[in-house]
Amino acid sequence: NLQSGVATKLPIPRTLDEQADSAARKCIMYFSPNNNPRLIFGPGNQVTVDAAGKIHLTDDLDVYRKFIGPGTWNAVNVNTLADELREKRSRSVSSLSHL
């Protein structure tokens, strides 16, 4: 009855050092020495610059806006960039739908 003995011990608790080691390995795996996201090639040689969604540079635009300040926010115009990316993605998906 090995299965029931193993099931009662899962998940195995990790120490803080083990969690830090895991985070460091993931950073090394997903970021280059220049701190840029690594280019990862997905199915069909598609380049996934965000490691297929695993890298989140920001999840909350309001927090990002406070972090970078108003001058950079206005220069970058993040909302316009996000809208352009959404539009490009929807156009590329709709152009492939007839194939």
**Window from 34-38, 72-76, 95-99 with minimum mean pLDDT:** 95-99
Domain shared by 80 and 62, yes or no: yes
Give the residue numbers spanning the domain of 77: 58-99
* Domain total in the chain: 2
**Do residues 46 and 3 both lie within one domain?**
yes
Looking at the fold, whether 42 and 12 belong to one and the same domain comes out as yes
Q: Are residues 62 and 79 in the same domain?
A: yes
* Spatial separation of the C-alpha atoms in residues 13 and 7, rounded to whole Å: 13
Better-scored residue on pLDDT, 82 or 94: 82
Same domain, 66 and 78: yes
Around Cβ 38, how many Cβ atoms within 10 Å?
Answer: 14
pLDDT over 80 at 21, yes or no:
yes
Contact 41, 47 (CB under 8 A): yes
Do 16 and 5 fall within a single domain?
A: yes
Q: How far is CA 13 from the centre of its chain?
A: 25
Task: Name which of 34, 22, 19, 26 is nearest 56 in CA terms.
Answer: 26
- Summarize the confidence of residues 44-72 as an average pLDDT: 80
